[in-house]
Amino acid sequence: MTIPVAMTVNGKPASGKVEARTLLVQFLREHLGMTGTHVGCDTSQCGACVVHVDGKSVKSCTMLAVQAEGAKVITIEGLAESAEKLHPMQEAFRENHALQCGFCTPGMVMSAIDMVKRHNYQLDEATVRRELEGNLCRCTGYHNIVKAILAAAPAMKSAGV
């Protein structure tokens, strides 16, 4: 039995028919073909699947697709204004070499943007490290991720995003 579901993904209407058990991340990856959002675990620990749902960061493996009915979802694919103009957080990750294999990166970037906003663009290293507890990275040792987020906070503020 399938259930119709409709939401806005990266500003565009998206709909489909899903099973009740279909997770939001499955809907994004398998139904919409938006594979930028990754699945790195099965216990909602790694954070590779973080997206924004109605402006808040959410692990899309912990939410059913049907729970996102009518929601505004933003994924990593929807952040940059254009290929030339990335979101300040994406730019900071590039500038600071905050990614290696790239697998955790979408979730890191989405979590980091939400973190900066929740802290009103004011962050220190200890706060960033504590706030990253829901995102695992095995490559970078977090050093450059922390640097990137600290650099992005004022850049996001001045860009008004």
Partner 1 sequence: MTAQTGIGARVKRKEDQRFLTGTGRYVDDLPLARATYAHFVRSPHAHAKIKSIDTSAAKAMPGVVAIFTGKDIADAKVGGLICGWVVKDKHGQPHKAPPHPVMAVDTVRYVGDTVAMVVANSHDEAKDAAEAIKIDYDVKAANVDLAKALDKGAPEVHPEAPGNLIYDWEIGVKADVDAAFAKAAHVTKIDIVNNRLIPNAMEPRAAAADYDKGTGNYTLWSTSQNPHVLRLILSAFVLGIPEHKLRVIAPDVGGGFGSKIFCYNEETMVTWAASRVGRPIKWTAERSESFQTDAHGRDHVTHAELALDKDGKFLGLRVETVANMGAYLSTFSTAVPTYLYATLLAGQYTTPLIYANVKAALTNTAPVDAYRGAGRPEATFVIESIVSKAAKELKMDPAELRRKNFIPSTAFPYQTPVALQYDSGNYPPIIDEAIKIADYKGFEARRAEAKSRGKLRGIGFSSYIEACGLGPSRVIGQLGGGVGQWESAQIKFNPTGNVQILTGAHSHGQSHETTFAQVVSDKLGVPIENIEVIHGDTATTPFGMGSYGSRSLAVGGSAIMMAADKVIAKGKKIAAHLMEASVADVVFEQGTFKVAGTDKAVPLGQAVFAAYVPHNYPLEELEPGMDENAFYDPSNFVYPAGTQICEVEVDPDTGEVEIVNFTAVDDFGNIVNPMIVEGQVHGGIVQGVGQALLENAVYDKETGQLISGSYMDYTMPRADDVPSFKLGNKVTPCPHNPLGVKGCGEAGAIAAPAAVMNAVHDALAPVGVSHVPMPATPLSVWQAINGASK
With a CB cutoff of 8 Å and minimum separation 6, the contacts of 106 are 36, 37, 38, 48, 50, 75, 76
Q: Choose between 8 and 100: whose C-beta lies nearer to partner 1.
A: 100
CB of 51 to partner 1, least distance (A): 10
Is 45 a residue that touches partner 1 (CB under 8 A)?
A: yes
Which residue of 101, 118, 124, 159 would you call a contact of partner 1, by CB under 8 A? 101
For the record, the structure tokens of 41 come out as 């675990």
Any bridge partners for residue 2, and if so which? none
State the first-to-last Cα distance of the chain, in angstroms, to the nearest integer: 41
Instruction: Identify which range of 1-9, 65-73, 123-131, 152-160 contacts partner 1 by CB under 8 A.
Output: 123-131
Q: Which of 24, 27, 106, 152 binds partner 1 (CB under 8 A)?
A: 106
Distance of CA 121 to the CA centre of its chain: 17
DSSP 23: B
CA max distance for the chain:
49
Residues that bind partner 1 (CB under 8 A): 19, 21, 29, 33-43, 45-46, 48, 75-77, 79-80, 83, 86, 90, 93-95, 97, 99-106, 109, 125-126, 128-130, 132-133, 135-147
